[in-house]
Structure 1
Amino acid sequence: MTTTSLAAAEIETLLGRHPKGFDLTLERIARLLTVLGDPHLRLPPTIHVAGTNGKGSVTAFARAILEADGRGVHTHTSPHLVNWHERYRLAAPEGGSRLVDDQVLAEAVKVAAKANAGKPITVFEILTAVTFLLFSEHPADLAIVEVGLGGRFDATNVIARPALTVITPISLDHQSFLGDRVELIAAEKGGIIKPGVPVVIGQQAEEVALEVLTSIADRKGAPVSVYGQDFFAYEEHGRMVYQDEHGLLDLPLPRLPGRHQIGNAATAIAALRKGPFPPSDAAVEEGLSSVEWFGRMQRITEGPLLQIAAAGAEIWIDGGHNPGAGVAIAETLADMEERVQRPLFLITGMINTKEPVGFFSAFSGMARRVFTVPITMSEAGIDPDELADAAIEAGLDAEPANSVEEAIRLVSANWQATPAPRFLICGSLYLVGEVLGKNGMAPR
């Protein structure tokens, strides 16, 4: 699959007709779904996931565990990194799951666009309708649907009766859409909580976020399970210990790097144990060991980027782009530093809906230098000179570069010291997607 695929061509046509981005309301998507015969009412039991950070990781853990338990699982995630198809993973008849076939996706997009009949709508809303078409037409035991933006008015929130809902960590992000305070953002995310439907709340750094979420759950009569109160997880002797009312599990550490992934894995486990198909302990163990999630503390192990880097250098990528994600990434790098000390260089691009100073602040005292680069896949990219100023304001040394490749070459050209540098390419999923695509590592 490439950007010249049938599905990509159909979606590019939509992008030429309809506005990009989000316009938070449920009226247009509800109208379209009615014309399509209400496919959102014919889904398999569905887990609905919202939050600022960790949505994708929790979804990846849940899918890996369920598939290890022999379940067929559809998953919807957004945004994609390289190909549109990444948003739609369908349960496979032979077991496991795979990204939607190009022709199947192209046909679903055509059907949804025709049903819309040119009426005002956003492309994300059409693509959400495509999710429900695909998930209703292909058999599966469960579906996992990740929110696009917010929750209360996100197009996915037409799911009236999910099997359960999950709220991952909340922090400041998309303030122009969701509000400039954590409690306002929590209220929007908590909009997916449904009357009487169990809700699992992941680890929250802000007590006010937890208070808002539990208040919504209480008001709606939704049974609630909270990380740190009803379920726990921690690292001990190189293993992950998980505990809830059902008992204690001694598990391998999650395959995804970073101490924050212990909390994400625990949230997925807690959710699945509340869901319609509680997994076996063996499936939980296998899922933690086999999980994949591209673009989140992922190491580049092959391809052109390594060829231009200093000998022995490490290159990592992470699409985290808000202050909360910055803290999680910095903690992961600090843990790496305890094992192998390397000089750290950030290569960062961001779009203008983010808070760059808050993101960069997490790396103060860690990064030797920041190189800021343009975002070529979005018109909303922050100018590298402006982004470098934000990094300097956060207490870091910074300079603009024309590209990721140029930044790596600037460091590597005359590097002779030991140990070799560690590069982190970060700040935007657009940037990570560009790197993965150029490096021949598109998610599969």
Structure 2
Amino acid sequence: MSIKLGLSRISQLLKISNVNTNKLKVIHVGGTNGKGSTCSYLTTMLIQAIKNYNSKNNMRDNNNGKIGKFTSPHLIHPSDCISINNKTIPMSHYQTYYKECATLNTNYGIKASNFEILTCIALKYFQDNKVDYCVIEVGVGGATDATNVIESKLCCIITKLSLDHQKLLGNTLVDIAKEKSGIIKKGVKHVIIDGTNDKEILQVFIDKCGKVGSSWELTDISKTIQFQEFTNRVLGYQRYNLLNALYAMRYLSSIDHANLLISDDDIFKCINETKWYGRLQKLSLKYDHKSNPIDVLIDGAHNKDGAKQLGEYLTQHVRPTLDSNKNGLIFVIAMTVGKDVDGLLRGLSISCNDKVIVTQFNAVQDMPWITSMDPDTLAQHILKKGFTNQVIVEPDLTQIFKNSVFSDGQISIKNNYDTHTNIVICGSLYLAGQILEQHLKNTR
């Protein structure tokens, strides 16, 4: 089984499920890197704006003000992808919706994929709960992704593009941009495009906006003075994802000013409250019930550009804090079969002083086409290419942090920015998710 693109199956499933996407106010977020983080920042700001409206109008009813969010892939369970006001759909509700959609899928012979069923669940859940706005992340690509079944959208956001899923989307960034620009269609009022993309990429989206009659704007962190006080509060690549959300919030407020009330203080509060697990996430990891937690940085970087952004963050904010007597960073890495190994390793800027523990993630629920790269093969590649000769293979996720390398390797340093650790878990969102799942089990 593999990823199934196309809109016919999801269209049929939504129709027989009595879901009318035209009733939803949708912000559709596409791109490659930063989609989930952008969704999270924007969702938190929309929730705060609706709260402000309710407070101003003395509305105490909890049913007033709902923001739906649909992101993917899941980290621990597919239900993680669906939330209202940042509260994940209750498992009992998810199971009820899943049973209904899966039964219809079987009875009508639609042959929808797991992701198409998940998309149907999300949109039906949002419709049933009469959400005010929906922030929807594209799954894969754009034009033929299940989420693009939505015709009427308030706006689209295009984040940073990178080479990923080339077998499905094309071998060049321009090819990928053309596929991803498919979410911009008649009915899309406005498009926000991450200005850090290459000029030829930007032109693809600008041309598409002109073709369908959508207004557009490019984000620019150096020229948007009114936003710099906010982006300066965030480190690394998340600054650009926050900027995407700020542009979107400004646009949405301009077309619905009466209902979307948000102050500068509110935005600072939202920045502090926004959580996006598996992206520059600092965690005191509880890797078993008996041992003390160990400080780690978890990032789902899994392609060349994502790794480059993580590598820049480590170079600017983590490596300078390392004790010269320590042996550099300790990377825990697993990768999906088919990913660009050299691109990821070069992006991370792994040095000869760094240690790399190579592992593998387990089978991913509802995604049988995802396979972890053999750790011995990955380790041999790292050694052959000369990134570092300090490579350890540990296929068992539960045993990684019991390795002696951590007995004197862990550090935790506070500087003017934050607390840093020299242990970095990266290479795959599926690895990040399974590490987080392990942590949650051991903290109960």
Of residues 283, 287, 304, the one that matches 2:287 is 304
Deviations 1:361-413 (A, max 9, x none): 12235461222111213451110112123333554123422234544333536
- 2:395 is the counterpart of 1:402: yes
**Counterpart residue number, 1:11:** none
Structure 1 residue 251: Cα displacement:
2.9
Q: In the superposition, relative to structure 1, how do residues 416 and 372 fare at CA in structure 2: closer, same or farther (>3 Å)? A: closer
- 2:242 is the counterpart of 1:251: no
Moved more, 326-335 or 118-127: 118-127
Q: Is the 8 A contact 2:333 2:359 kept in 1?
A: yes
- 2:363 is the counterpart of 1:363: no
Q: In the superposition, relative to structure 1, how do residues 393 and 328 fare at CA in structure 2: closer, same or farther (>3 Å)? A: farther
Of residues 312, 317, 327, the one that matches 2:308 is 327
Q: Is the 8 A contact 1:170 1:204 kept in 2?
A: no
Letter in 1 for 2:46: L
Q: Is the 8 A contact 1:82 1:442 kept in 2?
A: no
**Counterpart residue number, 1:431:** 431
- 2:46 is the counterpart of 1:52: no
**Counterpart residue number, 1:224:** 216
Q: What is the rounded CA distance, in whole Å, between the counterparts of 1:133 and 1:416 in structure 2?
A: 48
Q: What is the rounded CA distance, in whole Å, between the counterparts of 2:274 and 2:439 in structure 1?
A: 22
**1:193-212 correspondence to structure 2 within 5 Å:** 193-195=184-186, 197-212=189-204
Q: What is the rounded CA distance, in whole Å, between the counterparts of 2:410 and 2:68 in structure 1?
A: 48
Q: In the superposition, relative to structure 1, how do residues 254 and 143 fare at CA in structure 2: closer, same or farther (>3 Å)? A: farther
Q: In the superposition, relative to structure 1, how do residues 68 and 204 fare at CA in structure 2: closer, same or farther (>3 Å)? A: same
- Using structure 1 for the length normalisation, give the TM-score: 0.83
Letter in 2 for 1:377: A
Q: Is the 8 A contact 1:308 1:409 kept in 2?
A: no
Structure 1 residue 438: Cα displacement:
0.7
Q: Secondary structure in 1 aligned to 2:135?
A: strand
Q: Is the 8 A contact 1:357 1:393 kept in 2?
A: no
Q: What is the rounded CA distance, in whole Å, between the counterparts of 2:287 and 2:227 in structure 1?
A: 45
**1:125-140 correspondence to structure 2 within 5 Å:** 125-140=116-131
The unaligned stretches of length 5 or more in structure 1 are: 1-18, 92-96, 235-241
Q: In the superposition, relative to structure 1, how do residues 181 and 392 fare at CA in structure 2: closer, same or farther (>3 Å)? A: farther
Letter in 2 for 1:370: V
Structure 1 residue 442: Cα displacement:
11
**Counterpart residue number, 2:69:** 75
Structure 1 residue 22: Cα displacement:
1.5
**Counterpart residue number, 1:271:** 248
Q: Secondary structure in 1 aligned to 2:284?
A: coil
Deviations 1:288-320 (A, max 9, x none): 1211111111112242369768x9x63111111
Of residues 346, 360, 375, the one that matches 1:374 is 360
Structure 1 residue 253: Cα displacement:
3.9
Identity across aligned pairs (percent)?
26
Q: In the superposition, relative to structure 1, how do residues 414 and 272 fare at CA in structure 2: closer, same or farther (>3 Å)? A: closer
Structure 1 residue 207: Cα displacement:
2.6
Of residues 60, 64, 73, the one that matches 2:44 is 64
**Counterpart residue number, 2:205:** 213
Q: Is the 8 A contact 2:322 2:422 kept in 1?
A: no
Structure 1 residue 265: Cα displacement:
0.6
Q: In the superposition, relative to structure 1, how do residues 306 and 61 fare at CA in structure 2: closer, same or farther (>3 Å)? A: farther
**Counterpart residue number, 2:379:** 388
Structure 1 residue 249: Cα displacement:
6.0
The unaligned stretches of length 5 or more in structure 2 are: 52-64, 365-369, 414-420
Of residues 81, 85, 95, the one that matches 1:106 is 95
Q: What is the rounded CA distance, in whole Å, between the counterparts of 2:442 and 2:274 in structure 1?
A: 16
Letter in 2 for 1:24: L
Q: What is the rounded CA distance, in whole Å, between the counterparts of 1:427 and 1:404 in structure 2?
A: 14
Q: What is the rounded CA distance, in whole Å, between the counterparts of 1:85 and 1:442 in structure 2?
A: 21
Moved more, 104-113 or 72-81: 104-113
**Counterpart residue number, 1:353:** 338
Q: How many residues align?
A: 401
Q: What is the rounded CA distance, in whole Å, between the counterparts of 2:132 and 2:266 in structure 1?
A: 16
Q: Is the 8 A contact 2:67 2:133 kept in 1?
A: yes
**Counterpart residue number, 1:25:** 6
Q: CA RMSD in A?
A: 2.7
- 2:271 is the counterpart of 1:288: yes
**Counterpart residue number, 2:54:** none
- Using structure 2 for the length normalisation, give the TM-score: 0.83
Q: What is the rounded CA distance, in whole Å, between the counterparts of 2:122 and 2:409 in structure 1?
A: 51
Q: Is the 8 A contact 1:361 1:394 kept in 2?
A: no
Moved more, 270-279 or 258-267: 270-279
Letter in 2 for 1:52: T
Q: What is the rounded CA distance, in whole Å, between the counterparts of 1:67 and 1:426 in structure 2?
A: 30
Q: What is the rounded CA distance, in whole Å, between the counterparts of 2:411 and 2:442 in structure 1?
A: 32
